[in-house]
Chains A and B, each alone.
Chain A
């Protein structure tokens, strides 16, 4: 039993332990320079893993519980990239807030969560799925409260924790019910799916559990509060990685379990998608806190992906992957901009973004790119992403979803444009903002992907579509 298929997880774990070791043996806890080394180590390690991910043999599997196919690999790369961005953000954030001595723990927890997400997309067995699900949650509860001196830190974390715990319980119950119907947690081993209500109920409970991770309405109510209270770099990770992993895992479930079992999960998810788009977009309209606004916007964005998930086709899976690349760049980028604002001592609100174009042209223009991408405006990458998921939904005949999605995307522009207005049109004075170099580099990288990437969408779409082809080929028995 070669460990090759899990090599990325193992490497990331190894990196985590390296960071931990460095953190433990480092003598001077207050030294900023050394902390920089810690972050450099984490970043370099993540970059190396990302580069190494090119060489992983495909496809492979570890027992029957764990598979590495191109689909999983692509999502893992998304997760690793998200983690890398969060590392850059945390560097600036911990220094600015004077909590640099927590850097080691923060990075380790971040890497653990990354491992959880990576395992989640490879899981082909319910127990593995569940543990990976937990591993993606638990470190994040802690990370959201990283800045624990903040009044609201515990509040946001507790809210997430309660939702997460209840969802975990529900997910586990769903797994139990599925097992009650089939007698195994290895869904690939099920030869003939029974048409029991218990199996369908189990599927419903599993979807409910994943609803928390996706922050899909009505399981999304924790997200705005948590995002608002959590450090922005953590939110950059929190708003992308769990969602990407959860969507990927759900796609796998749809293809390999719900599909063969004849459970119409798609139609349930369509309902969730409609509600999620609607509520996310409406609630985002009147927000003034940027993190909160982006939280709702993220909920809305997930609604669009759920439309593709509801379609449940191979095309939809590929295009969703594409979507997540765009979403990663834009959403994580936007939260990093907020992180930069916070790190520079500016409040993360609309008012704080006033006249940003004068105060920090880099932040303002990057943020504009992110907003355009999130808003689905050509030629940003997000434009293609949004069009693609709608196309996937249309392809599956979900016309009502496409229609309300397209219309709500217009409502969304209201708040995206409102941010843009504060940054570019409002002329109130404010201090100039300086951005630490690593964070600036991360933001600019995101902006380049989200902006210039839109000029070459095929570069992103082709691998995504090919990855899906490979996955369904390997799994079609």
Chain B
């Protein structure tokens, strides 16, 4: 019995404890402790990638600590081929989010503490095999974002039109308090549905929260359908499925760099992972029956998100809407219910995670430097920030599916899966979405970075520096690596997807 998974969890948790113990003045020590806390899970995730045995398949690296046997609750850890790449993704983004926040100079102690807590929750979700523990970590992952946005976020009030002109200031649309509260409450409202779904399985599945036991249970179709819908809506909120996605633009726009990196990069994946793991994985009959719904909404997501992004002038909103669109691709791959689709879906989780993390890191840096979020007030920044521009283009190209970058691999697999699924037409809107992505991403590149740099706007502009480069380089490198060497993740993924398909087929 190895302890890779518990070490992965304990890394950030102990870092959090250490940060708590350190005095607030010791900002430098706090940063390095955070990095140490991120390197442990990174090493763990690399070990998982290397040592996960795809031939044996199934859940490996199992650990179990009984908690409350009366209600079938235990601390059960384990990963399969689907979870392994996601742990890897989390580790990458965890580490880089720290580097990108290196120059943060306000209440560092609390900041890195909350990041560590958040990320502990994320790791926990990916590695837990007990539904209740899963849920526990899920909630833990969602909540710190409130503080991260509330303290370190940014506000840009949105003026309502017409009858909303009076209402919007009252609600505070666009303010960080609004974004923080909306994001938190919306996601936790989703988790309420998840909770009911988990309890439903507990009641119907032999009063246990054990994933393996529940998976072996033959649940009635009616129960499966209810639970699946509960999970779909609950996790779907976090995955940004239409029409439950609107927390994402407001929340992510208000969040600080590391916050939106973690959130859009990893947490939205938690939602998709939940649908995949608890929805399709535990409830195969309902999954097969309701795939049309998941796929249909996914297609709406892709197109709708892209179209909405097209109109945004606030760069953060733009990226947030692009996330909504790209999460549609994740869900579409899932709904295809075939090998390329499912592989592509998880691959897209990773690819989009890295890509959007890079995006948010860059966008927040640009905002931090220029204090402008409105694209139309920018232009010609490439002259002063060529490095940022390069990475932005890189991320943008991945997001529009340029081959050689991670996004293409994922989209290709999903497209292949969509066309060979029972709803071939899904491919058409997906392709349209990909085209619209090219429209808005490159328009953003042009508006922000190209064109003449007006002297009035040029003062104080600079390129990235120091640790920021490290963060960007890791993320950019990951985009390229995942684009040219898909084998790295597909090796475990195929095992995981294969088993899932067996369940779905059988």
Contacts and interface: CB of A to CB of B under 8 A. Distances in A.
Question: Do A's and B's CB atoms come within 8 Å in the complex?
Answer: yes
Interface of A: 315, 377-379, 383, 387-388, 390-391, 394-395, 397, 399, 402-403, 406-407, 409-411, 413-414, 417, 420-421, 424-425, 457-458, 461-462, 465
Contacts of A403: 192, 196
A383 B138 CA distance: 12
B219 interface: no
Residue in B147, B192, B200, B203 with the greatest tally of chain A CB atoms within 10 Å: B192
Interface string B200-228: 10110001000000000000000000000
Nearest to B66: A458
A180 to B, nearest CB: 40
Contact of A402 (B66, B135, B199): B199
B196 A406 contact: yes
Contact of B199 (A379, A390, A420, A458): A390
A462 B70 CA distance: 8
10 contacts: A378-B121, A378-B137, A390-B199, A391-B199, A399-B196, A399-B200, A403-B192, A417-B184, A461-B68, A461-B70
A424 B147 contact: yes
B141 to A, nearest CB: 9
B185 interface: yes
A424 B136 contact: no
Nearest to B152: A425
Contact of A315 (B66, B71, B121): B71
Given A394-B200, A410-B192, A457-B68, 19 more contacts: A315-B70, A315-B71, A377-B139, A378-B136, A378-B139, A383-B136, A388-B71, A391-B71, A391-B199, A395-B202, A395-B203, A395-B207, A397-B203, A399-B196, A402-B196, A406-B192, A421-B177, A424-B110, A458-B66
Contacts of B143: 377
Contacts of B192: 403, 406-407, 409-410
Contacts of A315: 70-71
A465 B200 CA distance: 21
A454 B189 CA distance: 22
Interface in B128-164: 132, 135-137, 139-140, 143, 146-147, 150-151
Contacts of A383: 136, 139
Contact of B185 (A377, A388, A410): A410
Given A377-B139, A391-B202, A410-B188, A465 B196 contact: no
A387 B195 contact: yes
A206 to B, nearest CB: 30
B22 to A, nearest CB: 14
A413 B200 CA distance: 24
Contacts of A411: 185
A465 B70 contact: yes
Contact of A413 (B110, B147, B188): B188
Given A417-B181, A424-B147, A379 B200 contact: no
A383 B139 CA distance: 10
A118 B272 CA distance: 50
A411 B192 CA distance: 11
Most A C-beta atoms less than 10 A away, residue of B135, B193, B196, B202: B196
A413 B185 contact: yes
B67 interface: yes
Contacts of A407: 189, 192
A425 to B, nearest CB: 5
A467 B26 CA distance: 48
Contacts of B189: 407, 410
Interface in B386-405: none
A412 to B, nearest CB: 10
Contacts of A410: 185, 188-189, 191-192
**Which of the listed residues A315, A425, A457 has the most CB atoms from chain B within 10 Å of its own CB?**
A425
Interface of B: 66-68, 70-71, 110, 121, 132, 135-137, 139-140, 143, 146-147, 150-151, 177, 181, 184-185, 188-189, 191-193, 195-196, 199-200, 202-203, 207
Contacts of B150: 421, 424-425
10 nearest A-B pairs in the assembled complex, by CB-CB distance: A406-B192, A394-B199, A378-B136, A378-B140, A410-B189, A425-B150, A410-B188, A407-B192, A378-B139, A458-B67
Contacts of A465: 68, 70
Nearest to B133: A378
Which of B66, B139, B181, B188 lies at the interface centre, i.e. has the most chain A CB atoms within 10 A of its CB?
B188
B87 to A, nearest CB: 20
A50 B68 CA distance: 26
B34 to A, nearest CB: 20
A388 B195 CA distance: 11
Contacts of B202: 391, 394-395
Nearest to B67: A458
A399 B188 CA distance: 18
Contacts of A461: 68, 70
A403 B207 CA distance: 19
A417 B188 CA distance: 13
A394 B203 contact: yes
Given A378-B137, A379-B140, A390 B195 contact: yes
Give the one of B140, B177, B181, B195 with max A CB within 10 A: B195
B299 to A, nearest CB: 29
Contacts of B188: 409-410, 413
B367 to A, nearest CB: 20
A422 to B, nearest CB: 11
Contacts of A391: 71, 199, 202
B185 A414 contact: yes
A417 B196 contact: no
A387 B132 CA distance: 9
Contacts of A462: 68, 70
A425 B147 CA distance: 8
Contacts of B181: 414, 417
A414 B137 CA distance: 20
A280 B196 CA distance: 21
Contacts of B177: 421
A303 to B, nearest CB: 15
A99 to B, nearest CB: 38
A425 B71 contact: no
A462 B191 CA distance: 26
Contacts of B195: 387, 390, 402, 406
Contacts of B136: 378-379, 383
A421 B71 CA distance: 36
A448 B156 CA distance: 39
B323 to A, nearest CB: 23
Nearest to A411: B185
A192 B71 CA distance: 34
B76 to A, nearest CB: 14
Nearest to A395: B203
Nearest to A417: B146
A417 B177 CA distance: 11
Nearest to A409: B192
Most buried by A among B71, B132, B193: B71
Contacts of B135: 387
A461 B200 CA distance: 21
A417 B147 CA distance: 9
A394 B147 CA distance: 32
Contacts of B140: 377-379
Nearest to B143: A377
B184 to A, nearest CB: 7
Given A383-B139, A458-B68, A462-B68, A424 B151 contact: yes
